[in-house]
C-alpha cells in the first residue's frame, strides 16, 4: 500500500501514500460502464482502486471498505434505487466505525434527490455528463490532504 504509484514516482514531492478508493455497484443494477471507466481514470490518476463488481448490498460494500481500508467509497446506481441504497451504505459505514470515509455517488440521479443524499452523508453526486477530471479533482481535494488522513 505504500508503494508509490507510477504517476507519483520521481516527482520529488515527498511520498504520500496513494489515495485508496472502493468503487461499488449498489443494488441489482448491472450497468457498470461508468463504474469501470471511473475505476480506470482514478488508477491513471495514481490512486489505488478496488472495484466490487455488480450487485452489492450496502452491508457488503461497507465491509469491503473496512477490509480494503479505503479513504473513499464511490457508489454507482443507474436503476433509481439510489435513495434507498446510498443512505444505507453511509449508515453501515458508521456502524463499522468508518464515518471518516468520504462517500460519493454517481448515476442517473434526478437533481431533486441530491439534497437528501447529501444529508445522508454522500458528499458529492456526479450525474450524466460529469467529467472524469471533475471526479478526480474532487477526490484529490477531499481525500488527498495529509491532515485528513491518518
Query: For binding to other proteins (CB under 8 A), which residues are involved?
Result: 23, 27-33, 36-37, 39-41, 49-55, 57, 79-81, 83-85, 108, 110-112, 127-129, 131-133
- Nine-digit cell string for 25: 455497484
Q: How far apart are CA 54 and CA 7, in angstroms?
A: 28
Q: How far is the CB of 146 from other proteins (least distance, A)?
A: 28
Identify the three-state secondary structure at position 17.
coil
Cβ atoms 103, 126 nearer than 8 A: no
Q: How far is the CB of 84 from other proteins (least distance, A)?
A: 3
Q: How far is the CB of 17 from other proteins (least distance, A)?
A: 21
Q: How far apart are CA 74 and CA 142, in angstroms?
A: 13
Q: Which residues share a beta bridge with 49?
A: 21
- Nine-digit cell string for 91: 449508515
Q: How far is the CB of 27 from other proteins (least distance, A)?
A: 6
Q: Which is nearer to other proteins, 16 or 127 (CB)?
A: 127
Q: Which is nearer to other proteins, 57 or 96 (CB)?
A: 57
Q: Which is nearer to other proteins, 110 or 149 (CB)?
A: 110
Cβ atoms 54, 86 nearer than 8 A: no
Q: Which is nearer to other proteins, 49 or 93 (CB)?
A: 49
Amino acid at each position: 500500500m505504500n508503494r508509490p504509484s507510477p504517476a507519483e514516482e520521481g516527482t520529488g514531492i515527498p511520498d504520500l501514500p496513494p489515495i485508496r478508493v472502493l468503487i461499488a455497484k449498489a443494488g441489482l443494477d448491472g450497468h457498470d460502464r461508468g463504474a469501470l471507466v471511473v475505476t480506470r481514470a482514478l488508477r491513471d490518476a495514481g490512486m489505488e482502486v478496488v472495484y466490487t463488481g455488480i450487485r452489492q448490498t450496502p452491508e457488503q460494500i461497507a465491509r469491503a471498505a473496512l477490509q480494503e481500508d479505503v479513504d473513499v467509497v464511490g457508489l454507482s446506481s443507474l436503476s433509481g434505487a439510489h435513495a434507498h441504497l446510498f443512505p444505507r451504505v453511509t449508515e453501515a459505514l458508521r456502524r463499522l466505525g468508518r464515518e471518516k470515509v468520504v462517500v460519493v455517488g454517481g448515476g442517473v440521479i434526478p437533481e431533486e434527490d441530491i439534497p437528501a443524499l447529501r444529508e445522508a452523508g454522500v458528499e458529492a453526486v456526479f450525474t450524466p455528463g460529469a467529467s472524469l477530471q471533475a471526479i478526480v479533482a474532487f477526490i484529490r481535494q477531499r481525500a488527498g490532504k495529509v491532515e485528513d488522513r491518518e
